[in-house]
Amino acid sequence: MTTLVFGGTGFIGRRAIPQLVAEGEQVVVMDINPTTADFSSLGDAVKVVAGDVTAFEDVIKSVVDSKPDRIINLAYMIGGGENTPHFSFRLDLLGMDNCFEAARLCGVNRVVYASSFAVSGLQKEFGDVAIDEQAPMYGSNIYAMNKRYNEFQAAQFNKNYGMSIIGVRPPMVTGYDKVRGSTAHVRMVTLPAQGLPVSFPLKGMMQIPLHVDDIATTFVRLTIADAPQHTVYNTGGTPISLGDIANIVREFIPKADITFVSDGGLADSPNYLIDNSRLMNEFELTYAPYRDRVLQMINEVRAHHGMPLVDSK
């Protein structure tokens, strides 16, 4: 079978593509930056084409040419989008609608797309309660509002046309090579791994990191599943403060120079208590322990810079 991946050369896509191939899929990748990932080791199983998801003619051509059985859309604006509202609109809303409509016109009923945990807003809106997929949405920045509309639009396509469009709500996706969007949890690891100092405003600010390898697996499992039971899935992650991430880093790098301006941050934290039982129970997924992922990221950075690797404690 064939899977078409929009935005497939990006941070998540370049991890998901090899997993799709391992599942026996033929993969076509459409990306506005087609040379930012190298899939040559996967041979004829992967074809990469240039295209802009905000241009309907590019989207429909890629669907017509590849004749996919399913589609993954990983093309979205990383970050709040407050300073680029027009571009954010085109990529997050117009681009997503182009994907849904091209799938509809070409009879591709399964589409899996990236929503976000940001739709929920701040944890203080819910108190000390884990948020499931039925909870109210309070996210109010441009990115969150765009993702809220993506979920609304997907529901309309599913209702009107009998499609299977499924939203995945990633948390703060982490990995040593992440450079856009929420990166405090990344820089907390990668800069000390290089022997560099790092400072953050709020020690108590909560994070909800999930490693990019795990979120890639989630997208793949939902895409190739015969009949997912739901149309939106929380992925969850590890609820942890920046201060506690610093403590993990210091386990491996005792001399890590990590400082904070203030101990606060909890009250202004995004939602970090997330109920992902729907995903975990239906697909029997497990995530690698976060501490193990921190060590992995440290050693990926150190290997990249030709530095000695760190042993597990």
Residue 232's nearest CA partner among 119, 313, 145 is: 119
> Rounded to an integer, what is the distance from CA 50 to the centroid of its chain?
22
Q: Please write the tens of the pLDDT for every residue from 12-21.
A: 999 999 999 9
Dist CA 300 CA 297 (whole Å): 5
Q: What is the pTM of this model?
A: 0.95
Mean pLDDT of 99-116: 97
Residue identified by tokens 């039971």 is 229
**What are the phi and psi torsion angles at 77 (to 5°)?**
-80, 120
The pLDDT assigned to 297 comes to 98
CB 234 within 8 A of CB 132: yes
* The dihedral formed by the CA atoms of 48, 53, 56 and 62, expressed in degrees to the nearest 10: 20
Could you tell me the domains of the chain? 2-172+210-234 (3.40.50.720), 176-208+239-269+288-304 (3.90.25)
pLDDT in tens, 211-266: 999 999 999 999 999 999 999 999 999 999 999 999 999 999 999 999 999 999 99
pLDDT at 20: 98
Please give the pLDDT value at position 312. Answer: 82
* Beta partners for residue 233, in sequence order: 168
pLDDT per residue over 270-299, tens digit each? 999 999 999 999 999 999 999 999 999 999
Q: Which two tokens stand for residue 295?
A: 């060590």
Residue with tokens 């009107």: 160
Residues in the chain: 313
Helix 95-105 and helix 142-161: axis angle, to 10°?
10
